[in-house]
Amino acid sequence: MSDEVEEKEEMTDEEKAMMEEWEGMADEGGDSDVADDGTVAADDADDLEDETGARILNQDEIDSLLGFDEDLEASGASSGVMALINSAMVNYERLPMLDIVFDRLVRLMSTSLRNLTSDNVEVSLDQVSTVRFGDYMNSIPLPAMLSVFKAEEWDNHGLMVTDSALIYSIVDVLLGGRKGTPAVRVEGRPYTTIETKLVERMVNVTLNDLSSAFDPLSPVSFSLDRMETNPRFATITQSGNASVLARFRVDMGDRGGRIEVLIPYATLEPIRELLLQMFMGEKFGRDSIWETHLTQELYKTDVKLQAILGEKTVSLNDMLNWEVGTQIMFNTTIDDELELRCGNFPMFRGPVGQRQGHASVRIERYIPPAEEDDNQ
């Protein structure tokens, strides 16, 4: 009993020493400014480390990481996790051939719009990006004219947005406005029928050029479905769906504006494999030159065919008793068709005969591989 009492006293002394050590550490850290809610001041928090030696983030760093930065919120920007959540960009697969298609569209539009307006028109491609459909529709600066077009062969829709600056520029040019004077923009009223029809002519020309741009890849016809001024009535896919957005700049001297073409990935799905090509005519591993060469060489290959006069299964004992002059009887008759084999694969059947003093077989029937499997 006395030993147990002494051991308990020793344990109690160790615990007291440990408590004193913890109190001393707490007194050393007591110089830091601790608020009522338990947060530590930024000057001291920078020097704080956890037990593993890793530095502990202060409150400003935590806010910046999570995206709750007052300065950024005031400027309308976001950072950290909130920037990822609210991002309008979509990480989607890259379609290299789309860049080539839109480059062709720029060249075709430059020529077509010059013929339409009888003026010097310069078209340039600003950006090709991937966006969510709903985020883009909310970002369209109004007033604008939204043209919904249909891809006939793909049985789906796309969207073309013409901003107000280009609308008034086209109207001014087509109605004979003076060169060198910017187009007069009238805000606060809907577009008139004349303005709508003139813009519709430009949209039809652009859609024809877009069809021509896709022709080397896959023939498709784009036709204008309807024109809207309210984005709510131009919904062609769900708001969360990914879409390809191409922004074009159209300059006509001192006048001009922007055209934006939005094509959902669902619309491009029928030609997705073609758009994944790195260059025009890529065959995804197939090499037509070697394929043709190999085919030509195979046609020149010599193949040995064996005409099977008959088959019979005998025991090894009977075979050992065979001597010169032994006769073996088969069940094949003169009228039976013989089988021609290439190696172990049956190829043809036909009757046997004689030609120029030699035994011959006339091929009358091809043996498909399926028939060979059925016979087995």
Domain extent listing, the chain: 44-78, 96-275, 302-375
pLDDT at position 7, please?
Answer: 46
Long-range contacts of 210-219 (CB under 8 A, 24+ apart): 210/105, 210/261, 212/104, 212/108, 213/101, 213/102, 213/104, 213/105, 213/108, 214/101, 216/104, 216/280, 217/97, 217/101, 217/271, 217/274, 217/275, 217/280, 218/153, 218/270, 218/271, 218/274, 219/153
pLDDT at position 101, please?
Answer: 87
Two tokens at 205? 């020309």
Residues 6+ apart with CB under 8 A from 9: none
pLDDT at position 46, please?
Answer: 46
259, 162 contact by CB (below 8 A): yes
pTM, two decimal places: 0.53
pLDDT at position 97, please?
Answer: 82
pLDDT at position 179, please?
Answer: 66
Two tokens at 87? 């991002």
Residues 6+ apart with CB under 8 A from 305: 340, 341, 342, 347, 348
- Domains 96-275 and 302-375 in one fold: no
Q: Count of alpha carbons within 13 Å of 280, Cβ hemisphere only?
A: 11
Two tokens at 138? 């909310």
Candidates 3.60.20.30, 3.50.50.60, 1.10.10.10, 3.40.1550.10; CATH matching 96-275:
3.40.1550.10
Class (C level, CATH) for 302-375: mainly beta
- The number of residues in the chain equals 376
Read off the amino acid at residue 297.
Answer: E
- The series of mean pLDDT values per 10 residues for the chain, 376 residues long, is 48 68 58 46 47 67 66 53 55 73 88 85 86 86 86 88 86 75 62 86 90 86 86 84 88 84 88 74 59 87 84 85 84 80 85 83 82 52
170, 117 contact by CB (below 8 A): yes
Beta bridge partners of 70: none
Alpha helices in 215-281 (DSSP H): 265-268, 272-275
